[in-house]
Amino acid sequence: MQINNSLQPVDLSTKLTQFWELSGQKIQLIEQHYDVSKGSPVFTVQGQYTTRGWTEWTQGFQFGSAILQYDATDDIEFLEIGRQKTLDLMAPHVSHIGVHDHGFNNVSTYGNLLRLMREGRIPQNDWEQNFYELALKISGAVQASRWTTIKNGGFISSFNGPHSLFVDTIRSCRALVLSHALGHVFQGEGDVKINLLERALQHIKATADYSVFYGEGRDSYDLWGRTAHESVFNVKDGNFRCPNSQQGYSGFTTWTRGLAWAMCGFAEELEWLATRDGAELEPYGGRASIETFMLKAASATCDFFIEHTPTDGIPYWDTGAPNLHRLGDYLNRPADPYNDVEPVDSSAAAIGAQGLLRLGKYLLSTGSTEAGQRYWQAGLTVLDTLFSESYLSTNPTHQGLILHSIYHQPNGWDYVPAGSKIANGESSMWGDYHAREVALYLQRIIRNEPYYTFFNCLS
């Protein structure tokens, strides 16, 4: 990347205004035209949202987008969409024992609604508040029950099975820490109490240890900040076996959306950790040791993103994609979503930008000015590109918001338009949601409004 060190948040104000105007139009298009009988919208084909996937992991992003739209614009229509659809359709996600996506579905809906009430953005209603809190308490416990014990801790297993740790799942640790902070008591056989904070920290540590590489010689492809989408374990003895990938090119290359999940997940958990009393953390190694491994993972992944992304901040879908070499010196020029060999993934940019900004602000607050400023400016640089008309969907009939998102390149699920050799021009529900999330984050910074975090729903 070429980091624009002169860029300021306020410089993006005009782009944010256009962004939210387009965002509202897209939400309304989906409400008016999407056939809900087909399941949750996942990604677009010729500009129309369709469904295809392993689980219903994107429904929380759909309704969470409406809630974020209200938060950003005060348009009550979007609050009512988000609130009513959460009530009508999200309960199955709270009790879903078969997925690792609770942080995506439930924190994006119940969590955002509770946050708005805590912030005074919607009227206080004790029973409504209790409803949101109960959903978050149960969601965190259900997510924590999907547990695999390993040699030095454990992890929340992916929907692939108990052997599988996904890098994505670090963002579902939000569900566990919220449930814990809300005072929930999670119980197992014989009424044994299972500590949700301990499970969250163990999962984050497993992700840092096995999903992130540090250039310390784990394998021939070990680079500072590289990530593996999946880490595979022997469930008989708890030993790590190998890196793997479901949506990336291989276990020895870096799928950039997985990298972005790690960037954002570690940074936001560092922010949450800073709000906790040190005594609460002592049984799990203490604040210093926990912050050390989280900060190492956050910094490494953000560094890798900066070093392995084209100049404008938009990455290709995998840094080891097999045909990237045919693009020549592709890192030293802006990303080209219309090239003939490998697609970019704008959704990785939307997620990763939030990680860069949060890590930057965290480091600035702790006195690490040089490093903090570097990450902060890198995040702004990404958003300056992402919120431009090269990536914003201005077509009034296109239901997506952020163009050039990739779902599953190995499976060939992404739409390749006529006349093109690669997928481009389409959107994803997670890319659109995370673009809205980081846009709200930045807007609040510009307006000097309350700092946006997932744990604002706690106070």
Is residue 58, in this structure, part of any structural domain at all? Answer: yes
User: By C-alpha distance, which of 147, 126, 371 is closest to 267?
Assistant: 371
Question: Would you state the structure tokens that stand for residue 145, as one six-digit string?
Answer: 């029950």
Contacts of 296 (CB under 8 A, 6+ apart): 208, 214
* High-pLDDT (> 70) share of the chain, %: 100
Quote the pLDDT of residue 35.
86
User: By C-alpha distance, which of 338, 311, 340 is closest to 324?
Assistant: 340
Tell me the average pLDDT of the chain.
97
Is residue 2, in this structure, part of any structural domain at all? Answer: no
Would you report the helix, strand and coil content of the chain in percent, each value rounded to 5? 55, 10, 40
Quote the pLDDT of residue 181.
98
Alpha-carbon distance values, 326 to 73, 329, 340, 342 (Å): 44, 9, 9, 9
Question: Would you state the structure tokens that stand for residue 268, as one six-digit string?
Answer: 């936001």
Is residue 142, in this structure, part of any structural domain at all? Answer: yes
Section 105-123 average pLDDT = 98
pLDDT band at 55 (very low <50, low <70, confident <90, very high): confident
Contacts of 106 (CB under 8 A, 6+ apart): 60, 90, 93, 94, 135, 136, 139, 175
In the predicted structure, residue 403 carries a pLDDT above the cut 80 = yes
User: By C-alpha distance, which of 350, 356, 348, 361 is closest to 68?
Assistant: 350
Quote the pLDDT of residue 291.
98
- The residue segments making up the domain with residue 143 are 9-458
Is residue 4, in this structure, part of any structural domain at all? Answer: no
> Rounded to an integer, what distance in angstroms lies between the CA atom of residue 333 and that of residue 382?
14
Section 288-298 average pLDDT = 98
In the predicted structure, residue 37 carries a pLDDT above the cut 90 = no
Question: Would you state the structure tokens that stand for residue 263, as one six-digit string?
Answer: 């960037």
Is residue 379, in this structure, part of any structural domain at all? Answer: yes
> Rounded to an integer, what distance in angstroms lies between the CA atom of residue 210 and that of residue 212?
6
**Single pTM value for the model:** 0.98
Quote the pLDDT of residue 5.
98
> What is the SS3 assignment for 158?
coil
> Rounded to an integer, what distance in angstroms lies between the CA atom of residue 135 and that of residue 110?
7
In the predicted structure, residue 39 carries a pLDDT above the cut 90 = no
Is residue 287, in this structure, part of any structural domain at all? Answer: yes
Section 106-120 average pLDDT = 98
Q: Which CATH number is 163's domain given? A: 1.50.10.10
User: By C-alpha distance, which of 340, 335, 355, 343 is closest to 318?
Assistant: 343
Contact 138, 106 (CB under 8 A): no
> Rounded to an integer, what distance in angstroms lies between the CA atom of residue 432 and that of residue 69?
11
pLDDT band at 85 (very low <50, low <70, confident <90, very high): very high
In the predicted structure, residue 54 carries a pLDDT above the cut 80 = no
Question: Would you state the structure tokens that stand for residue 274, as one six-digit string?
Answer: 């800073």
Alpha-carbon distance values, 245 to 16, 107, 205, 229, 248 (Å): 35, 26, 20, 5, 5
Quote the pLDDT of residue 267.
98
Quote the pLDDT of residue 383.
98
pLDDT band at 286 (very low <50, low <70, confident <90, very high): very high
Quote the pLDDT of residue 397.
97
Section 70-94 average pLDDT = 98
Q: What is the DSSP letter of 208?
A: I
User: By C-alpha distance, which of 311, 269, 360, 299 is closest to 9?
Assistant: 360
Is residue 104, in this structure, part of any structural domain at all? Answer: yes
Is residue 1, in this structure, part of any structural domain at all? Answer: no
> Left (φ > 0), alpha (ψ -120 to 50) or beta: where does 96 sit?
beta
- pLDDT digits 0-9 by tens, 419-436: 999 999 999 999 999 999
Contact 318, 9 (CB under 8 A): no
Structurally, the chain folds into a number of domains equal to 1
